[in-house]
Chain A
Amino acid sequence: TQLLEQSPQFLSIQEGENLTVYCNSSSVFSSLQWYRQEPGEGPVLLVTVVTGGEVKKLKRLTFQFGDARKDSSLHITAAQPGDTGLYLCAGRPNDYKLSFGAGTTVTVRA
């Protein structure tokens, strides 16, 4: 059983559309991270959210941390083919080892 549940598992959209990926848990996290992984490469950190209710923006990407610090979402506006990849959320229960969700595979069609 995954500590962090991500949904959807797969997402395929047309260039220019918006998308949202969710990361949920029954546990409270001191922080949550989002990574993007491209084929044949390792995950790369996009953002860390620390405060409940926090919203961070990274160009067309918006990250939100739930008020109770149990969930997070990633919203991409006007998706581009370069956004294609595996998006992983990760958290540290009890501020200890990093635990990853199973990931959401996003495909943006030109």
Chain B
Amino acid sequence: DAGVIQSPRHEVTEMGQEVTLRCKPISGHDYLFWYRQTMMRGLELLIYFNNNVPIDDSGMPEDRFSAKMPNASFSTLKIQPSEPRDSAVYFCASSLSSLQETQYFGPGTRLLVL
């Protein structure tokens, strides 16, 4: 299995621009999670989906952030407009059939907003 796939691996953009991060979960996994990792705040859960439906988005920092999962094999996290404080590594993870099962993380997207 290819594992969780994320793209791009690195993104550099200017403040005010729209940024779209992409994730392909492991095939057959029902849960998909978006995390953000920074030195200051560590690894934080932003939102998670079950069977393509957003269940809990309480970790999304503000309205500039949105996430979608149009089908079982694809999800996006969008930031519009981006700000320098959004600079972080964004991880996507998936798990098989429950919140309690092992989460498998992708390699992350390193975002730098200038």
Contacts and interface: CB of A to CB of B under 8 A. Distances in A.
Contacts of A42: 4, 91, 93, 105-108
Interface residues of B, number: 17
Which has the most chain A C-beta neighbours within 10 Å: B43, B93, B107? B43
Given A42-B4, A44-B105, A100 B99 contact: no
Interface string A16-43: 0000000000000001000000001111
Interface in A54-98: 88, 92, 95-98
A98 B103 contact: yes
A100 B43 contact: yes
Contacts of B48: 97
A43 B43 contact: yes
Given A42-B4, A42-B107, A42-B108, A97 B42 contact: no
A101 B37 CA distance: 11
Interface of A: 2, 31, 40-45, 48, 88, 92, 95-103
Q: What 6 A-B pairs are tightest by C-beta distance, nearest first?
A: A42-B105, A100-B43, A102-B42, A42-B91, A43-B105, A45-B102
